[in-house]
Amino acid sequence: MPHAQSAKISTGSLAIIYLYHPMRYLRLLLLPFSLIYGLVVVIRNWLYDAGLFKSRGFDIPVISIGNLEVGGAGKSPMTEHIVRLLKDEVKLATLSRGYGRQTKGFIEALASSTAAEIGDEPSQFKQKFPDITVAVCEDRVAGIEWLKTNHEVVVMDDAFQHRAVKPGLSILLFDYRNLQLPQIVLPAGNLREPFSGRWRADIMVVTKCPETITEADMTRCYHKLTPLSTQPLFFSAISYQPLLTLYGEQTDVAIDGDTTIFLLTGIANPAPLVKYLEELGPSVIHHKYPDHHPFTPKNILKLADDFKTCKAEKKIIITTEKDAQRLGLQHLQMILNGLPVLVQPIGIKLLNNAQDAFDHLITTYVREHIQHH
């Protein structure tokens, strides 16, 4: 099976690829700067741990979801999973920094809020969960202060390094493919803080695992992470959902071996999605941009022109949920008008029949710490 092969590559050989890939080799020249950066972060964390920098706790349940790496480890699908789990039981809000937005300060999302106003991930949350509060604020302490009087639970997206808030429950995610690479901080590596920071988490989750992950692979991950006895470790895979239109409507479009897929992404790690689509159809033409890239008319015109000149009889355009939020601008919509643009939603699937155990940890924490207003 292809998945089994990718598991083999991702664990054994990727460390070698990392060390000898030309770009990685150039980045390793930056190791002295990584030592300086790492030292600064270690001192900062020590100042928080020692109480010399203030870390604020709150009297309502605050759940933090984050990762050590720059880029995607599946924080948005995890946030959505927790929102689905809790939204019918408690008055819940999500709080994000709103990366890439053109605004400042605390903003509570409206149904009409755009990615430019609140960021692409919060925009995605609001579109999928219109009945919950979605807020952004670069100062998470101030954000929770705004939210705490009218909400029972706050879920913070991408907040593991935001030490000014002391969350009641911290969930730390690790991308399976990257876990076996050398764990080096910026700029030589991709870590925002030293790997030892993982021991601050309450729960660890290895994400984007192949569904065929073996016991040996899981053991290897366990030995890499060496969780404390108080830190449960879970494994999850990406769960690909049925395709939707740009407006969130169901579609009956089917992908088969005759389909040519034009894939538009501006996310940190599109490799799992590319692999998934390549297994469905023979041809994936990837228009790839950096994470959170603000799509320009030039970008979208190139996509539209490539699509129109393609001679395949059966062809579609697919993008991610996060990227779809940045396609909502009127001048981009005009370019895409009439083209078959579909969105690939994703979720998470806990492996080893651990869904109930994971959900129980979340709901128990909330139940034990909730303050009914």
Beta bridge partners of 213: none
* Closest CA relative to residue 75, chosen from 254, 334, 306, 322: 322
Q: Which pLDDT score, from 0 to 100, does residue 281 have?
A: 74
Q: Is the peptide bond before 270 cis (omega within 30 degrees of 0)?
A: no
Q: Which token pair is 300?
A: 């979208």
Q: Which of 16-20, 277-281, 358-362 has the highest mean pLDDT?
A: 358-362
DSSP classification of residue 12: I
CATH architecture for residues 62-240+349-369:
3-Layer(aba) Sandwich (3.40)
pLDDT tens, position by position, 166-220: 999 999 999 999 998 899 999 999 999 999 999 999 999 999 999 999 999 999 9
What is the percentage of the chain residues whose pLDDT exceeds 90? Answer: 83
Sheet holding 259-265, edge to edge: 244-245, 341-344, 314-320, 259-265, 283-288
Q: Which pLDDT score, from 0 to 100, does residue 24 have?
A: 64
What is the percentage of the chain residues whose pLDDT exceeds 70? Answer: 92
The CATH number of domain 244-344, selected from 1.10.1060.10, 3.40.50.300, 3.60.15.10, 3.40.640.10: 3.40.640.10
- Residue type at 52 in one-letter notation: L
Q: Which pLDDT score, from 0 to 100, does residue 175 have?
A: 96
Q: Which token pair is 106?
A: 């605390």
Q: Which pLDDT score, from 0 to 100, does residue 254 have?
A: 85
Q: Which pLDDT score, from 0 to 100, does residue 141 have?
A: 98
What is residue 366's three-state secondary structure?
A: helix
pLDDT tens, position by position, 120-136: 999 999 999 999 999 99
Residue 201 C-beta-side C-alpha neighbours within 13 Å: 28
- Residue type at 93 in one-letter notation: A
**Number of C-beta neighbours around residue 34 at 10 A:** 19
* Closest CA relative to residue 325, chosen from 16, 83, 142, 98: 98
Residue 360 C-beta-side C-alpha neighbours within 13 Å: 7
Phi, psi of 150 (to 5 degrees): -115, 10
- Residue type at 43 in one-letter notation: I
How many Å apart are CA 204 and CA 101, to the nearest integer?
Answer: 29
Beta strands in the chain (DSSP E): 62-67, 92-96, 107-108, 133-136, 153-157, 169-175, 203-207, 233-240, 244-245, 259-265, 283-288, 314-320, 341-344, 346-350
**Number of C-beta neighbours around residue 222 at 10 A:** 14
**Number of C-beta neighbours around residue 22 at 10 A:** 7
Q: Which pLDDT score, from 0 to 100, does residue 12 have?
A: 46
How many Å apart are CA 213 and CA 372, to the nearest integer?
Answer: 42
Of 11-25, 50-64, 161-175, the least confident = 11-25
* pTM of this structure: 0.90
Asked if pLDDT for residue 286 goes beyond 90, the answer is yes
* Closest CA relative to residue 324, chosen from 241, 252, 266, 254: 266
Distance of CA 280 to the CA centre of its chain: 23
What residue ranges do the domains of the chain occupy? 62-240+349-369, 244-344
Q: Which pLDDT score, from 0 to 100, does residue 22 have?
A: 59
Residues 278-303, mean pLDDT to the nearest whole number: 93
Q: First CA to last CA across the chain, in angstroms?
A: 53
CA-to-CA separations, 95 to 23, 58, 83, 264, in angstroms, rounded: 35, 14, 12, 27
Rg (CA), the chain: 21
Residues 19-39, mean pLDDT to the nearest whole number: 80
* Closest CA relative to residue 71, chosen from 348, 333, 293, 243: 293
pLDDT tens, position by position, 322-365: 999 999 888 999 999 999 999 999 999 999 999 999 999 999 99
The string of DSSP codes covering 39-80 is HHHHHHHHHHHTTSS--B--SS-EEEEEESBSS-SSHHHHHH
